[in-house]
Amino acid sequence: MGSTTGTLFCVTTFGESHGGGLGAVVQGCPPGLELDLDLIQRDLDRRRPGQSSLTTQRKEPDHVEVLSGVFEGKTLGSPIALLVRNQDADPSSYEPTRHLYRPSHADYTTDSKYGIRNWQGGGRASARETVARVAAGAIARQVLSEMAGVEIVAWVDTVGEISAGCDPNEVSWDEVEASIVRCPDHGSAQKMEQLIKEVRGKGDTIGGVIRCVARHVPAGLGDPVFDKLEADLSKAMLSLPAAKGFESGKGFRSVGMLGSEHNDAFEPLDGSIRTRTNHSGGIQGGISNGMPVVFSVAFKPVATIFQPQDTVDTDGNAATIQPRGRHDPCVLPRAVPMVEAGAALVLCDHLLRQRAIRGDFQARETVP
């Protein structure tokens, strides 16, 4: 099972939704880093269930335990083991559907692949798995900040047909966190919140788009041809539960532009180089160019809806299913720290890889 990611900054996650806990082993973190555990807990708190009226009401404190790799507040260079114990698991709510395949879940496909599955909340296929990568991503975020001053901010840009259209150059972390929807545009956030509540009241779910910007990313990150920066970012994002689409820079919108419109012309800036526009999203030829890295991730509606649906049981007989339990009507608000974590893991890995390729590598002056 593919539970490991990264080349030099290597992360292996483990655990199931309703098991004893979840965690990650981080290998390749540089030694001597002053590791702020409060920042790790902060990102876990942003991801945890029960944080607002718009999320699942499963009550998990998601308190992180650091089991190894840190001494007197500093990383040792040895593997860092992180553990988050499950406190409010309730597998009994899945008992009525243990022999049914839930529509658009991983039940049938997991059975087809392994011949066995954990029917208690989906096991590894549950979105609860992301608690481990958010914890690991919080370490990667600190490495990026220390080594290159990289700042990563994601936000909910679209819910259903409501779009905020925020400028990636202007969005701040504080503005995002000021809204329970995690949309920095106040007017759009209110509309999104109302829409999610209306959908939940009907026993249904809704999807949308998260945008992300990584600022101060040095030029030179990415390793063509198969490890291009946007290819690795895409893999990290599409490995997230419910993620169904990835867009780098202008992405699909670029098909409606001419080359003369889409090309990012170079210009000097105080002794450094920048591009006048950023339609490429800070990546050209699969390598970062020093401009902000901008991308979007599309998330489908959560698969668990509280309405009767046609399905089949594990013997192939027709059946009807109406799940119960605690689920998000919209995954987007809690997915924001997941997207940031995925970006941090990829960027950190590529930063360390670039430093290994060029021992004299120094981050160039980047555009704010």
DSSP, collapsed to helix, strand or coil, labels residue 309 as strand
Task: Please report, as a single letter, which amino acid is at residue 130.
Answer: T
Tokens of 182: 């995690």
The reported pLDDT for the residue numbered 361 is 60
Question: For 55-149, where are the alpha helices, taking DSSP H only?
Answer: 107-114, 130-148
Q: C-alpha angle 238/57/338, rounded to 5°?
A: 25
Where are the chain's structural domains?
4-357
Tokens of 117: 């599955």
The reported pLDDT for the residue numbered 91 is 73
The reported pLDDT for the residue numbered 332 is 96
Residue appearing with tokens 């259209």 = 165
The reported pLDDT for the residue numbered 92 is 76
* Interatomic CA distance for residues 283 and 288, integer angstroms: 4
Q: C-alpha angle 100/302/180, rounded to 5°?
A: 145
On whether the CB atoms of residues 333 and 55 are closer than 8 A, the answer is: yes
pLDDT in tens, the chain (368 residues): 899 999 999 999 999 988 899 999 999 999 999 999 999 999 999 998 777 778 766 677 899 999 999 999 999 999 999 999 998 767 777 888 899 999 999 999 999 999 999 888 888 998 999 999 999 999 999 999 999 999 999 999 999 999 998 999 999 999 999 999 999 999 999 999 999 999 999 999 999 999 999 999 999 999 999 999 999 999 999 999 999 999 999 999 999 999 999 999 999 888 788 999 999 999 999 999 999 999 999 999 999 998 999 999 999 999 999 877 667 899 999 999 999 999 999 999 999 999 999 876 665 555 55
Largest CA-CA distance found in the chain, in angstroms, rounded: 70
The reported pLDDT for the residue numbered 93 is 77
On whether the CB atoms of residues 229 and 287 are closer than 8 A, the answer is: yes
The reported pLDDT for the residue numbered 261 is 97
The reported pLDDT for the residue numbered 203 is 92
On whether the CB atoms of residues 61 and 48 are closer than 8 A, the answer is: yes
- Number of Cβ within 10 Å of residue 213's Cβ equals 24
Q: Say which DSSP state 311 is in.
A: E
pTM comes to 0.95
On whether the CB atoms of residues 302 and 331 are closer than 8 A, the answer is: yes
* Interatomic CA distance for residues 161 and 345, integer angstroms: 31
The reported pLDDT for the residue numbered 360 is 63
Fold observed for domain 4-357: Chorismate synthase, AroC fold (3.60.150)
* Interatomic CA distance for residues 321 and 30, integer angstroms: 49
